[in-house]
Each structure stands twice: as C-alpha cells, then as structure tokens.
Amino acid sequence: MIPILVVTVLWAFSFSLIGWGLRGVDSFVVTTVRLGLALLCLLPFLRWGVVGGKDRLTLLGIGALQFGVMYLAYLTAFRFFDAYLVALFSVLTPLWVAFLVSLADSRAWGKVLLAAFLAVAGALVIRAGSGLPDEDFWSGFLLMQVANLAFAGGQVWFRQWKLAHPEVAEKDIFALPYFGGFSLAVVATLGYGWIGGVAFSWPNSQEWLVLVYLGVVASGIGFFLWNYGASRVSGGFLAAANNLVIPLAIIVALGFGSGPPDWGRFGIGTLFILGGCLVGSRLRPPR
C-alpha cells in the first residue's frame, strides 16, 4: 500500500507541470523522451535471462499498452482540454480497473466495484463545477477513455503476470515494459512526423527540466512503484487508489496559479475517494 501512496504524491505534480511547462512540446516528443528516460532508470537492473521468451514478449506488450498507448492518448488530449479537464476525465480509470480485476477474479467483484464507484463519485463531486468545453469535446473525451483503459489494462495485466511469477523480482524485468512503451512511442513519433510532415521542435532548458522530472521521477520511479504495489494490494484498493491523485493534484495546482476549488465539494469528494480506498483495503490482498 505504501508504494501506491508514494506514487500518488509524485504524480500529483504531473498534471500542472504538463499544462504549465510543456505546452510548446509535441505530445509525441514528450511521450518518447519520458519513456526513454524511464527506460534508462531501470535498464541497469535488467536480468535478461530471468524470464523466457514468451514472458519477455508479454512484458513488452504490457509496457506498450500501459505506457505507450496510454501516454500517446493522454498527452494528445492536452490539445483539446486544459489540464483540469484532463484530470476530470481521468477519474473513470477505477471503473476500468475494477471491471478488469473482476474478470480476472470474480470472488469479490461487488466490493471491488463499490470501492471504484466511491472513488469515481468522489472525484466527480470535486470536479462538478469545472464545466465542459463545447469545441472538440468528444475527441478529447475519447482520447482520455483510451488512456484510462490502456493504463487500467496494463496495471491489471502486470498484476496477473506477477501473481503467476512470484519468484521474479520486479526490478529484474521492469526495463522490458518500459522498452515496450518506448518502442511504440518511437514508431508512433516517426510515423506521425513522416506522414504529417511535422518538424518537431527541440525542448528548451525549462521544458527539459520538466521532462526530466516526468521521465525519471513520475515515470521511471513512479510506474515501477505503482506496478510493484499493484500485485500486493487488493483489487478494490488498487481501483480506488487510481483517483487518490485528484485531490492532491488540485492542491498542487494552487501553487501553479490555479484558482481555489469549491472547498465544500472538495472535502466531500475527498471523503468519498478515501471511503473507496477503505472499502478496498478491507478486501484480502493477493498472495
């Protein structure tokens, strides 16, 4: 549970940093650099022979889905939405996690879905007064649901893989998921640049500082710890914890010039999210 909570704090800065510091950098470049830096963080720990060829392909696929597809959709959504709306439409991730966990293990599906519903309801209460844009709404919304489903699918897929391979330490193989995500990002970036005739601009010094934080800390350390914790907590807690970042991200956004939230809604919504985590924590974690 502790790794999940640590990552939540690290990720609370991501929404504001992307919206504030990376508006001039193409989302394909951000995805590629971010995953490249994350790969470099875990590459020194890789033990190639600890898993077989089939498992290597599985881990590459997990990374391509959870990191590659998720980032490409998530970061592209910033073209249509401000940062607060990207955060708003990320709140449905717990429902996707709960649904996929329930498919894998139906014994406690009711409580898993309850934990996820409380987390989603709390996040929506917090964001109830945000309003929605008229222009390009559905494009941004669809991109966020692709991102949500990809992130949910990747973490549940890795969770099931780890439960089937308890003898394998995450640090020994986690460079493989990062390589899967990075490879997809490189192919997508090169294809987008070639087909669209896009000349990508090089990040400036301020943008590089943001990219280093996002790549090394939020992605390199964050995703490793998140997936590490995912196989050690119950499915209900994992689902609900996906929305713990929302209240923290709002507090962080205040430091970046964002207006204060409706504190009444904020308090009620946060209690809902914490309630979802409490319900989820009462479920038995996997062995």
**pLDDT tens-place string over residues 151-183:** 999 999 999 999 999 999 999 999 999 999 999
* Cβ neighbours of residue 151 closer than 8 Å, sequence gap 6 or more: 66, 70, 74, 93, 242
pLDDT at 35: 94
pLDDT at 44: 95
Give the whole-angstrom CA distance, residue 249 versus residue 89.
14
The answer to the question of residue 256 being in a domain is yes
* pLDDT score of 131 more than 60: no
* pLDDT score of 113 more than 80: no
pLDDT at 181: 95
Per-residue pLDDT tens for 246-267? 888 888 878 777 677 778 888 8
| Range ranked top by mean pLDDT from 97-106, 118-127, 231-240, 276-285 | 231-240
Q: What is the mean pLDDT of residues 199-210?
A: 82
pLDDT at 89: 76
Q: Is 170:45 a contact under the CB 8 Å cutoff?
A: no
The answer to the question of residue 286 being in a domain is no
Full 3-state SS string of 210-251: HHHHHHHHHHHHHHHHHHHHHCCCCHHHHHHHCCCHHHHHHH
- Going by pLDDT thresholds of 50, 70 and 90, the confidence category of residue 130 is low
* pLDDT score of 117 more than 70: yes
Give the predicted TM-score (pTM) of the model. Answer: 0.86
The answer to the question of residue 84 being in a domain is yes
The answer to the question of residue 170 being in a domain is yes
Give the whole-angstrom CA distance, residue 69 versus residue 2.
27
Give the whole-angstrom CA distance, residue 100 versus residue 109.
10
pLDDT at 28: 83
The answer to the question of residue 287 being in a domain is no
Helix or strand run (H / E) with residue 190: helix 175-196
The answer to the question of residue 81 being in a domain is yes
The answer to the question of residue 77 being in a domain is yes
The answer to the question of residue 52 being in a domain is yes
Nearest to 262 by CA among 102, 136, 163, 129: 129
Q: How many structural domains does the chain have?
A: 1
Nearest to 158 by CA among 77, 255, 55: 55
Query: Quick one: tokens of 198?
Result: 């896009």
Give the mean pLDDT of the chain.
84
Query: Quick one: tokens of 119?
Result: 């987390």
Per-residue pLDDT tens for 21-74? 787 788 788 889 999 999 999 999 999 889 999 999 999 999 999 999 998 898
Q: Is 178:4 a contact under the CB 8 Å cutoff?
A: no
Domain that holds residue 117: 2-281
pLDDT at 158: 95
Give the whole-angstrom CA distance, residue 101 versus residue 96.
9
Q: Is 59:48 a contact under the CB 8 Å cutoff?
A: no
Give the whole-angstrom CA distance, residue 206 versus residue 17.
11
Q: Is 224:100 a contact under the CB 8 Å cutoff?
A: no
* pLDDT score of 201 more than 80: no
